[in-house]
Chain A
Amino acid sequence: MKIQVTVNGIAYEKDVAEHRTLLHFLRDDLGLTGTKEGCGAGECGACTVYFNGKTVNSCMVLAVEANGGTIETIEGEAQDGVLSRLQDAFDRHHAVQCGFCTAGMIMSARELIHHTPHPTVKEIQDGLEGNFCRCTGYEQIIEAILDATGGYREKEELVYVREQ
Chain B
Amino acid sequence: MIHQFSYMAPTELDDLLALLDTTKGGFKLLAGGTDLLVNIRNGLLKPDLVIDVKRIAGAGAITYDVEKGLQLGWATTINDIISSTEIAKHYPLLQACACDLASYQVRNRATVVGNIVNASPCSDMAPALLCLDASILVATATTRKTIPIQKFFTGVKQTVLQPREMVVGITIPSHTKDSKGVYRKLKRIQGHDLGIVGVAVAMVEGRLRIAVSSAAPTPVITDDLPLDVSAPDALYAVERIINPISDIRCTKEYRRFMVSEFTKRLIQEVRA
Contacts and interface: CB of A to CB of B under 8 A. Distances in A.
| Any A–B CB pair closer than 8 Å | yes
A55 B6 contact: no
B245 to A, nearest CB: 24
B192 to A, nearest CB: 5
The 10 A-B pairs at the shortest CB distance, nearest first, are namely A130-B103, A18-B7, A55-B105, A54-B108, A19-B1, A129-B191, A130-B105, A60-B37, A64-B7, A129-B103
Interface of A: 1, 17-21, 40-42, 45, 48, 54-57, 60-62, 64-65, 67, 108, 111-112, 115, 126-127, 129-131
6 contacts: A19-B2, A19-B40, A45-B103, A61-B37, A62-B50, A130-B102
A130 B106 contact: yes
For the side of the interface on B, what is the size category? 20 to 34
Nearest to B189: A129
Interface of B: 1-7, 9, 30, 33-34, 37-38, 40-42, 50, 52, 54, 79, 83, 102-106, 108-109, 191-192
A111 to B, nearest CB: 7
Contacts of B9: 64-65, 67
A54 B42 CA distance: 26
Nearest to B1: A19
Contacts of B7: 1, 18, 62, 64
Given A18-B6, A19-B4, A129-B191, A56 B105 contact: yes
Contacts, number: 82
Contacts of A108: 104-105
Given A18-B6, A19-B1, A19-B4, A62 B33 contact: yes
A57 B102 CA distance: 12
B78 to A, nearest CB: 12
Contacts of B37: 21, 42, 60-62
Contacts of A57: 105-106, 109
A64 B50 CA distance: 11
A126 B41 contact: no
Contact of B104 (A1, A42, A60, A129): A129
Nearest to A1: B7
